[in-house]
Amino acid sequence: MNEQETSEAAHTQPRHYIGGQFSDTGTSFDVIHPADGSVVGCAPEADAATVDAAVQAARAALLGPWGQSSVEERCALLRAIADGIEARFDEFVAAEVADTGKPESLARSVDIPRSIETFRAYADLAWARSERAFTTPTPDGAGALNYTVHRPRGVVAIVAPWNLPLLLLSLKVAPALVTGNAIVAKPSELTPTSATMLAEVIHDCGLVEGAFNVVHGFGGGSAGAHLTSHPDIDAVAFTGDSGTGRAIMGAAAEQLTPVSFELGGKNPALVFADADFDAAVEGTVRSAFTNAGQICLCTERVYVERPIFDDFVAALADRAKNLSVGRPYDADTWMGPLASADHRSKVLGYYRLAEQEGAKIHAGGGVPVFGDERDSGFFVDPTVITGLSRDARTVREEIFGPICHVAPFDDEATAVELANESAFGLAASLWTSSLSRAHRVAPRLQNGIVWVNCWNLRDHRTPFGGLKASGIGREGGEYSLDFFSEPVNVCVKL
């Protein structure tokens, strides 16, 4: 790391936050900077007793003043949290860059602004939330009034991933807090710093002790498993890979604990011959290679109508070859490294598998060589391939890296069939100048989100989530508020 990165990232070291107190109890583990493999910090691993202390602190907060808090107070809290993150904007950017290795420009334009926006958006949504009321006839003619109120789920476990650490944590913390729950959050062991910083901001806002807690550690056999299987957890919200989701669901099933899962994707893009060619190419560059392909919404399967197929592949490969891959703080860096050595090994394994399955590599397929400290980081090339069969593992399995397979189609029905031929169903992109085709095709795609002539445009009020192996439930707007609260009907005889 250069001096700028080291000094800015050194402000906060990951710590547990339990019952309003910070601690580093437990065996420590290193936090690695993916751009050069250097150690940027260390975090404590929570054992079962530490996790239990966090859960009990959360339960005590619910039984105390936090359980009596009003919507007005909770909305004001969320706005204060947003202000607190904004006041430490550069520190949060530096923490995300140090932990993830992503370009500073990406953290500055996406991760931190959208996290701030999330807290403000849910304050607005909760304040405007309306309850339903009905008048009901009764035999005596006096009638009755039925109305609905919402109570919090209780103590909720939030398990966040490493690709967008603060943003994806915020997307769960904000609605959970504003609906009155007490939280125990576990960030990824790869990216623990911003969760501790969020705890610092919340602490400074004066939140009731125990209403928000953070524990650090790993998944199976560690803090994650201790938390999601804890008998005093009332709901689990998780973003991550489908395999981990299955394990969490198994643990939750023992107690019938409600779950909200945003899981993996093998997302398709459909490019029709009448699309704006340049816009479709640039949109696919973004959807395939942003954050080194490490976003659940990224495109790994691209289907292009045959008349423009060759030109599209050539243009996409040319853009991939010319993307600037490098240091997070270099002004021209467009793509950074993968998150860890293990993840790079996985992605490179798929690069080799693609070759074995007969893929033609048009761009990338390996590891860039820099001749400096970056060679100790976890970089891979942005990669464009063609020529694989529909049942090839590279086409069917989620890779979560900067690689996409491009295949031709001849008609609309085949395009839809190819797009839906997946165990996943998170997001799809559709590129066409035909409004009627867009409205005809989009509802036929088996995905929770379909973008037309764009990618990753989000509105906090809309549902976010996937079908099939891509998740259970929806996040966003009323959907998140509904998950983190229980409706209670009150019937009053008049």
Just list the catalytic residues: 262, 296
State the DSSP string of 60-121: HHHHTGGGG--HHHHHHHHHHHHHHHHHTHHHHHHHHHHHH---HHHIIIIIHHHHHHHHHH
Query: Could you give the count of Cα atoms lying within 13 Å of 1 in the half-sphere of its Cβ?
Result: 24
Contact 347, 399 (CB under 8 A): yes
State the DSSP string of 357-419: TTPEEEE--S----SSGGGGS-----EEEE---TT-HHHHS---SSEEEEEEESSHHHHHHHH
| Residue 401 vs residues 10, 108, 188, 190, 262: alpha-carbon distances, Å | 28, 21, 18, 16, 18
**Beta strands at 259-262 and 471-472: parallel, antiparallel or unpaired:** antiparallel
How many other C-beta atoms lie within 10 A of the C-beta of residue 440? 13
Residue 16, phi-psi category: left (phi > 0), alpha (psi -120 to 50), beta (remainder): beta
- Residue 395: phi and psi, rounded to 5, are -85, -25
| Residue 125 vs residues 13, 78, 250, 480, 489: alpha-carbon distances, Å | 33, 11, 33, 10, 21
- The structure tokens 């070759």 sit at 355
Reported as type and span, the H/E element at residue 488 is: strand 485-493
Give the burial string for 144-169 (b: 16+ CB within 10 Å, else e): eeeeeebebbbbbbbbbbbbbbbbbb
CA dihedral 438, 444, 445, 449 (to 10 degrees): 70
